[in-house]
Every structure is written in structure tokens, then in C-alpha cells.
């Protein structure tokens, strides 16, 4: 009898939680798992009760580091869960700390505006983003039990490719290098204006779970995340 896999999520927002929860169900192939959203805190309707966005993830990482009283990897959060998923969309590479009101910014590529690289390949930018994220934890390698998730350009690319593969933008080459694909979700009822509709995401969760193998084939960062996650799944 396999024990449920305990997975904690640190994400930019609630729709990311819904999508990644579906992806993990696909990866675990029916094995039970216990999902827990750590950040942002969500109410029973999956509405944020704490700060969302990439800046919220940054602040969570700094809190983890402060509370560890040593290397971030010593924080009990990593030992208490089988896997801790930390997600930041790679479009953060175009941002600056000052855009989020962060004053104690690390001396990294995001601070200096050099995080975004030419695409393809998507990994050029996502590798830089991952280095920045590890810097938030004052680490050079991911802590034990931690897996980074860095969709290019954002997680909505995975949603579009998975749920609406016939969309004219989803069928174009180098889909992970294309900006603004999230706006295509308006046509399919998952967004209104620039607002993501959590109820619509939840209604499509099972469809996205079924589509995850296709997303892995089409999006290199989805494949990297899948491989990194599966490598941490306990054997029993």
C-alpha cells in the first residue's frame, strides 16, 4: 500500500494551484496525494487571503530563509512534506523588484534587468529565473524535497496548449517563446479582461489532467517540471 504523497504548493496565484494540482494527479497516475497550498493562503473558494504574485513568492522565500536560522534547506517545511513545489512564471524576467515595491532586492539578474534572454530556447530565460529563485533562498541548488516550476512565458501557455490545442496561436512554432498567449483564454471563457476565472479553471481541471501528457510533449518546461517532480516522489 502506497502512502499518499504530501505535496505543498507555493504559487503565484490560485489558478496556478488548480492547474498544477491537475498536472500532479496525471503524473501520479492514480496514486493518492495530499495537496496543501502554503502560499498564497487560500480560502475555501480558492480566493487568496495573503499576497499573491511573484513578489509574494519572493517574500515567502525570504521568510523561509529567515526562519531557518541557517541555510534555507534547514527549514522544517521541506522535511514535513514529500515535495514542495515553488512556482514562478518566467515572465518575471521582464520585471524589476521596484515594480513590486521590494526595497531589499538581491544583487541578481532580475535587479539588473538582464534576466530575460533570447528565445528560443526557452531554457535560456527559465534557467536565469531559476537561479534568481534559488538566490531568494540563498541557495545554489534546490533544497531537498523542493522542485521549481518555471513555465515559459507563463503557466497559461500550458493551459492553452493542453485544453485548446487547435487554437491558432497554440499551433504556431516555438509556442513557449510567444508573449500574450494567456489572452487567448478569453475566447474560451477562462478569462474576463485580464482576470482569470477560478471557477472556470476548476471546471476544466479534469480535462487538463487528461491533457498533461500532450502538454509535456509540446512544452519543454512542462517536461522539465514533470521529470523533476517524479524524481522526488517517494517509492512507498
Residue 137: domain span: 5-155+217-231
Q: Does a structural domain hold residue 172? A: no
**DSSP conformational letter for 48:** B
pLDDT digits (tens, 9 = 90+) for 148-207: 999 999 999 999 999 999 999 999 999 999 999 999 999 999 999 989 999 999 999 999
Q: Does a structural domain hold residue 182? A: no
Alpha carbon distance 91, 106 (integer Å): 18
Q: Does a structural domain hold residue 63? A: yes
Q: Does a structural domain hold residue 236? A: no
Q: What is the pLDDT of residue 90?
A: 98
Q: Does a structural domain hold residue 209? A: no
Q: What is the pLDDT of residue 1?
A: 61
Closest to 221 (Cα-Cα) out of 76, 146, 71, 120: 120
Q: Does a structural domain hold residue 47? A: yes
**DSSP conformational letter for 41:** -
Q: Does a structural domain hold residue 40? A: yes
Q: What is the pLDDT of residue 101?
A: 87
pLDDT along the chain (236 residues), means of 10: 90 96 97 92 76 91 92 94 98 92 91 96 98 97 97 98 97 96 95 94 98 98 98 92
Q: What is the pLDDT of residue 236?
A: 78
Q: What is the pLDDT of residue 126?
A: 98
**44 Cβ contact partners less than 8 Å away, ≥ 6 residues apart:** none
Q: How far is CA 166 from CA 7, 162, 179, 208, 226, in A?
A: 32, 10, 18, 15, 23
Total domains in the chain come to 1
Q: What is the pLDDT of residue 103?
A: 86
Q: Does a structural domain hold residue 200? A: no
Amino acid at each position: 500500500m502506497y502512502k499518499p504523497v504530501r505535496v505543498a504548493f507555493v504559487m503565484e496565484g490560485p489558478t496556478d494551484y488548480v492547474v498544477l494540482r491537475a498536472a500532479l494527479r496525471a503524473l501520479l497516475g492514480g496514486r493518492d496525494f495530499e495537496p496543501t497550498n502554503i502560499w498564497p493562503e487560500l480560502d475555501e473558494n480558492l480566493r487568496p487571503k495573503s499576497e499573491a504574485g511573484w513578489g509574494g513568492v519572493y517574500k515567502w522565500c525570504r521568510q523561509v530563509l529567515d526562519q531557518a536560522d541557517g541555510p534555507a534547506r534547514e527549514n522544517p517545511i521541506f522535511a514535513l512534506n514529500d515535495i514542495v513545489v515553488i512556482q514562478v512564471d518566467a515572465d518575471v524576467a521582464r520585471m524589476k523588484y521596484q515594480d513590486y515595491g521590494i526595497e531589499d532586492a538581491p544583487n541578481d539578474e532580475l535587479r539588473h534587468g538582464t534576466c530575460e534572454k533570447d528565445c528560443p530556447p526557452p531554457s535560456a530565460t527559465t534557467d536565469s529565473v531559476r537561479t534568481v529563485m534559488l538566490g531568494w533562498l540563498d541557495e545554489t541548488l534546490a533544497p531537498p524535497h523542493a522542485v521549481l516550476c518555471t513555465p515559459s512565458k507563463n503557466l497559461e501557455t500550458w493551459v492553452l496548449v493542453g485544453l485548446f490545442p487547435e487554437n491558432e496561436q497554440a499551433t504556431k512554432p516555438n509556442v513557449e517563446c510567444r508573449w500574450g498567449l494567456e489572452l487567448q483564454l478569453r475566447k474560451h471563457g477562462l478569462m474576463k479582461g485580464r482576470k482569470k476565472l477560478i471557477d472556470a479553471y476548476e471546471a476544466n481541471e479534469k480535462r487538463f489532467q487528461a491533457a498533461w501528457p500532450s502538454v509535456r510533449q509540446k512544452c519543454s518546461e512542462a517536461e522539465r517540471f514533470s521529470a523533476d517532480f517524479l524524481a522526488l516522489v517517494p517509492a512507498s
